[in-house]
Amino acid sequence: MQNRLLRLLLIIIAIVVVIGIAMSFFRSPAPSSNTSAAKNAAPAAITSTIKNTTLEFLPQEIFKVSPIELKQTMALSGALRAVDQASVKARVAAEVREVLVREGESVTAGQILVRMDTSEFQARVDQAKGNLHAMRAQLDIATKNRDNNRALLDKGFISRAAFDNTASQFAAAQANVESAQGALDIVQKLLNDSVVRAPISGLIAVRNVQPGEKVSTDYKLLDIVNLKKMECEALVPTSDIPKIKIGQSVLLHIEGLTEEFIGNVTRINPATQAGSRSIAIYIQVANPQDMLKVGMFVDAQLVLRTKANVIAIPQTAVHKESSGAYVYALENNLIVKKNITLGQEGRSGEIALIEITSGLNAEEQIVKTDMGNLRPGTAVRMTQASANK
C-alpha cells in the first residue's frame, strides 16, 4: 500500500514540473526592437570607424614629384692609392747616420731625407783626385816632349819614328787623365748618393730605417705618397666594358666620409685580370685638402648616361603586383592608388630613383616609404616629429 502511494506521488510531481516548463516557454517575450536595432547598427559602426581613420605622415615620408636629372649608373668598388708615389731606396751600402723625417711629415722634391756614413767614400774621392793630379802632371810632361820633338823634327834633328814615339806617349798620358777623371766621377757619385733626397713632394708613408743600421744597396728606406691626386682601380666585367669611355664621370662615396667626390675614368687596362673575366679601369679624383688617404675603400657609381627633366621617384615608393606597378598618392588629403609605368633606373645624388613614363605629373605628392598596403580613401594629415625624436 505504501509503495503504491509513493509511486503516485512521484507521478504527480513529474506532471507539475512538465506543466511549469511548458508555461514558462509560452510566456517568454519576443525580441525587442532595441535589440534588433543594436544588431543592425554594428556593421554600420565598424564602417564608420574605418571611414573616420586618419593616417599621419611626417614630411620626410612624402615625396613631391618634380622634373630632375636622372643618372644611369654602374656600381663599382675598389681602394684608393696615390697617383704619385715613390719608394726611396739606398743607392750605396753604408751605415745610416741620420734619418731626418718620420711618418706623416711633409717633404718637398730634393729635400734631404737620410745621411749615410761618408768617411769611406770621401777617402776614395781623395784618392781618385790624387791619381787624377798625377795623370795630369804626366800629361803635361808628355805634351812638352811632343812639342819639343815636333820642333826638332821640323829642323831635321830627329827622325819621324822618334817623334811618333813621343806622340804615342802623349796620347797615352791623355788617356790616363781621362780614365782618372772617370774614376773620380764614379767615387764622387757614390759620395753624393750617400745623401738621400726626396724624388717627389708628398708625405712620408713608411719609414723602414733607423740611425746606426747598416743597409745594402737597393734597401727600401722610405715610402713617399702625394695625396693631391688619388686613383681607384675597379674591376669591370668584360660585357660592360663597351659602355665605358675615357673621361666618364664617377661619383665616389668614401668609407668614413660623408662628402661625395667626383672623379673621371682616365685609363682602361687593355687586358683581363688573371683568373677572371674582368678588366681594370682607373678612376682619378682630385684631393686638394688631403681628405682622402691611401687604402680607403670606395663605393663608386659610374655615370653611363644622363637624362634631364625626367619625372622620377624613389624606388622605395613603388609597389608591384601582377597587373603592374603603382604608388600611393595624396589628393585632397586622401590616399589615392595610382597605376604607373616604369622606365629606367638611376640616381640623383645618393638617392636610388626610377623613371615614371606615365601615371604621375609634376607637383603631385606620393608616399615615399614602403608602409605596406594602404586603403584608398583613407584621410591623411601631415605632422611634425616631436622635439625628443
How confident is the model over 326-358, as pLDDT tens digits? Answer: 999 999 989 999 999 998 888 887 788 999 999
Mind giving me the DSSP string for 235-296? EEEGGGGGG--TT-EEEEEETT--SEEEEEEEEEEEEEPTTSSEEEEEEEEE-TT----TT-
**Residue 340: CATH number of its domain:** 2.40.420.20
Pick the range with the lowest mean pLDDT from 12-16, 81-85, 114-118, 375-379: 12-16
Asked if residue 107 lies in contact with residue 226, where contact means CB atoms within 8 angstroms, the answer is no
Same-domain status, 300 and 316: no
- Domain assignment present for residue 219? The answer is no
Q: Can you give the pLDDT at residue 328? A: 92
Same-domain status, 258 and 201: no
Q: Can you give the pLDDT at residue 52? A: 58
Judged against a pLDDT cut of 60, whether residue 76 lies above it is answered with: yes
Q: Can you give the pLDDT at residue 389? A: 42
CA 113 to chain centre: 32
- Domain assignment present for residue 12? The answer is no
User: Distance (Å, rounded) from C-alpha 267 to C-alpha 285?
Assistant: 13
Pick the range with the lowest mean pLDDT from 43-47, 55-59, 155-159: 43-47
Query: Looking at per-residue confidence, does 81 or 35 come out higher?
Result: 81
Q: Can you give the pLDDT at residue 274? A: 83
Mind giving me the DSSP string for 3-35? HHHHHHHHHHHHHHHHHHHHHHHHTPPPPPHHH
Judged against a pLDDT cut of 80, whether residue 41 lies above it is answered with: no
Residue-range definition of the domain harbouring residue 297: 75-83+227-305
Q: Is the pTM value of this prediction over 0.95?
A: no
Q: Can you give the pLDDT at residue 176? A: 93
Same-domain status, 377 and 332: yes
Same-domain status, 239 and 325: no
Q: Can you give the pLDDT at residue 31? A: 47
Pick the range with the lowest mean pLDDT from 113-122, 149-158, 310-319: 149-158
Same-domain status, 90 and 202: yes
Asked if residue 230 lies in contact with residue 82, where contact means CB atoms within 8 angstroms, the answer is yes
- Domain assignment present for residue 345? The answer is yes
| Mean pLDDT for all residues in the chain | 86
Same-domain status, 301 and 312: no
- Domain assignment present for residue 203? The answer is yes
Same-domain status, 259 and 324: no
- Using 50, 70 and 90 to split pLDDT, how confident is the model at 252? very high
Q: Can you give the pLDDT at residue 39? A: 44
Same-domain status, 313 and 281: no
pLDDT in tens, 264-303: 999 999 999 888 889 999 999 999 899 999 999 999 989 8
For 125, counting Cβ atoms within 10 Å of its Cβ (0-12 exposed, 13-18 middle, 19+ buried), the class is buried
- Using 50, 70 and 90 to split pLDDT, how confident is the model at 13? confident
- Domain assignment present for residue 26? The answer is no
Judged against a pLDDT cut of 60, whether residue 70 lies above it is answered with: yes
Question: What strands lie across the sheet with 214-215, from one edge to the other?
Answer: 195-197, 112-116, 94-99, 214-215
For residue 316, what is the DSSP state? G
Q: Can you give the pLDDT at residue 206? A: 96
Q: Can you give the pLDDT at residue 277? A: 84
Q: Can you give the pLDDT at residue 131? A: 94
Asked if residue 367 lies in contact with residue 313, where contact means CB atoms within 8 angstroms, the answer is no
Residue finishing a domain among 256, 282, 305: 305
Same-domain status, 293 and 359: no
Task: Supply φ then ψ for residue 148, to 5 degrees.
Answer: -65, -45
- Domain assignment present for residue 311? The answer is yes
- Domain assignment present for residue 362? The answer is yes
3-state secondary structure of 205: strand
**Residue 234: CATH number of its domain:** 2.40.30.170
Same-domain status, 311 and 300: no
Judged against a pLDDT cut of 90, whether residue 211 lies above it is answered with: yes
Same-domain status, 189 and 286: no
Nearest to residue 241, comparing CAs of 275, 277, 274?
277
Strand 54-57, strand 379-382: pairing:
parallel
Nearest to residue 146, comparing CAs of 174, 165, 172, 160?
165
Give CA angle at 169 (164, 171), nearest 5°: 90
Same-domain status, 92 and 203: yes
User: Distance (Å, rounded) from C-alpha 244 to C-alpha 236?
Assistant: 9
Asked if residue 242 lies in contact with residue 281, where contact means CB atoms within 8 angstroms, the answer is no
- Using 50, 70 and 90 to split pLDDT, how confident is the model at 43? very low
Judged against a pLDDT cut of 60, whether residue 305 lies above it is answered with: yes
Pick the range with the lowest mean pLDDT from 101-115, 187-201, 210-224, 268-282: 268-282
Nearest to residue 122, comparing CAs of 179, 186, 187, 181?
187
Judged against a pLDDT cut of 80, whether residue 379 lies above it is answered with: yes
- Domain assignment present for residue 19? The answer is no
Residue finishing a domain among 161, 177, 207: 207
Residue finishing a domain among 305, 328, 347: 305
Asked if residue 240 lies in contact with residue 74, where contact means CB atoms within 8 angstroms, the answer is yes
pLDDT in tens, 188-204: 999 999 999 999 999 99
| Structural domain total, the chain | 3
Mean pLDDT of 85-102: 96
